[in-house]
Amino acid sequence: MATDYSTVIRRSGLRVTRPRLAVLAAVDAHPHAETETVLTTVREELPGVSRQAVYDVLHALTDAGLIRRIQPSGHVWLYETRIADNHHHLVCRVCGDVRDVDCAVGEAPCLQAATDHGFQIDEAEVIYWGVCPDCLAAEDVPGDSGRPDSSAH
């Protein structure tokens, strides 16, 4: 079933524009896309769209809660449309591939802090780091000495 991006945008209180439709569709088609991927995809449909227009739309869609922006340490911002849950991410240390991981415990916030310091916690962000199967199978994967020392964290 195709997503009606016009309705989604309109319900969020934003005006429906061709750049907003194209950016939302691009992020939906490319989970964990970085800005350059979104820009390239949008320009296939709207060749004249400026880089700034795409940045502005990404910002507006994020603020409206239609997309989520994540930034694993050492990476650029990545965008996704999976926003209705409190899922986590798995990142390959070698190639940078990012995958979704469902909550480890159930509903948000999925984890309980040892102390909440008076906060009402509603979300937990967890990033699992490792090496993906493709990189493990490749001959040029660095040994343990090439990976950050996990005991230092």
pTM of the model: 0.76
Find out whether 110 is annotated in a ligand binding site.
no
- Residue 110 is predicted with a pLDDT of 65
Based on the number of CB atoms within 10 Å of its own CB, is 32 exposed (0-12), middle (13-18) or buried (19 or more)?
buried
Find out whether 103 is annotated in a ligand binding site.
no
pLDDT in tens, 121-131: 877 778 889 99
Find out whether 135 is annotated in a ligand binding site.
yes
Find out whether 36 is annotated in a ligand binding site.
no
- Can you tell me the distance from the alpha carbon of 20 to that of 54, in angstroms, rounded to the nearest whole number? 8
Residues of the chain with CATH 3.30.1490.190: 85-147
Q: What is the CATH number of domain 85-147?
A: 3.30.1490.190
More reliable by pLDDT, 102 or 35: 35
- pLDDT at position 53 over 60: yes
Tokens 């469902």 identify what position? 102
Residues of the chain with CATH 1.10.10.10: 5-70
Q: How many residues appear in the chain? A: 153
Domain 5-70, CATH class in plain words: mainly alpha
Find out whether 92 is annotated in a ligand binding site.
yes
- pLDDT at position 151 over 60: no
Summary count for the chain: helices (H), strands (E): 5, 6
